[in-house]
Structure 1
């Protein structure tokens, strides 16, 4: 029986491809928000950084789901489990980086427990998103 696992290199390559498709969408949203702040006096809260982290966060689950779908890998298989683990780790890393960004730029207090809870919650959310069938 051959190993049907999706190599990490393929997951990263597809993630970067999807990220390239998501960044213009997030850029357009950021531009609209900037225009609203600049010309209409709306709230000037920072918005570009969360949008960028959002693009990174959702790219890996969409890529894993699309690869599983194209390769016809069932959800309840070891090959799928490896892809889901990749998504869990990806989500945990992206959210930990976001919390670190908030801690440095906004002066937010964050303990190691906050990082752990955020990483576990985000990784779990990313894993759940990756289980949804996608054609990306």
Structure 2
């Protein structure tokens, strides 16, 4: 078992979630509920301020659940340094569609942020990008 596998199996790993929207926020809360140290980064200042105040903008996340995970240590921020040296990164940003083709700018920017913040050890990166259901990718 590698060091990363050991930290994940024993809930000792830190998880950095990039993008705290309709995918990233519930995922963050699920990891906190499972015993992980979770830090979240989002470029939207208003969104992060609402989260820090315990005000959820996601239908599936109640304000009381958000407040509980904040008390448990979930840390949302607009400064990417909040996710420095995490053991795992989850990229949960939207993939837009432009002229029938995927628009990957947000995914690329998030991947660059993960690479810049990752430490100098074995790290897991998961891309959980979303596409608007009405969009078509050919």
Q: Does TM-score exceed 0.5, indicating one fold?
A: no
Please state which structure has a larger fraction of its residues in helix: 1
TM-score range, shorter chain: 0.3 to 0.5
Say which one has the larger Rg. 1
Please state which structure has a larger fraction of its residues in strand: 2
TM-score between both structures, scaled by the size of structure 1: 0.33
